Structure 1
């Protein structure tokens, strides 16, 4: 059944994001990312107190391929 959509305002869509309205057959974004961060780095809020006496982030990655996206088209 087709979708009937009114006014839509899109402020931004990231380079690897997907935006669709209504019926869709296939949504397949193609991107990959690897993020390294230390303890307490993604915390958000007001009056936040994070105490990390000793913190280190292990960025060693022994495998060669993590997210293969070559066949996803």
Structure 2
């Protein structure tokens, strides 16, 4: 359903997405990648991680996963 959005002012956005009205095409404006070993992102109280030997492969053979250059 079409919608009209009046003038707005956004001073800052600390992460997240802002959409107004209908959305025909959404594209990311930034992309990032993180590599971490087993148990690295555990959160909470009383974490007990026994992973033994752990190895993380950070090699990226395809170089670019999602091109962001054209999303201006």
User: Shorter-chain TM-score category?
Assistant: 0.5 to 0.7
Higher relative contact order, structure no. (Cα contacts within 8 Å, ≥ 6 residues apart): 2
Are 1:18 and 1:29, in contact at CA under 8 Å, matched by a contact in 2? no
Q: TM-score, normalised by structure 1?
A: 0.63
Q: CA RMSD in A?
A: 2.5
Runs of 4+ in 1 over 4 A off after TM superposition: 25-29
The residue aligned with 1:31 is: 30
Are 1:32 and 1:67, in contact at CA under 8 Å, matched by a contact in 2? yes
Structure 1: state its 5+ residue gaps: 3-11
* Matched pairs, number: 61
Q: TM-score, normalised by structure 2?
A: 0.63
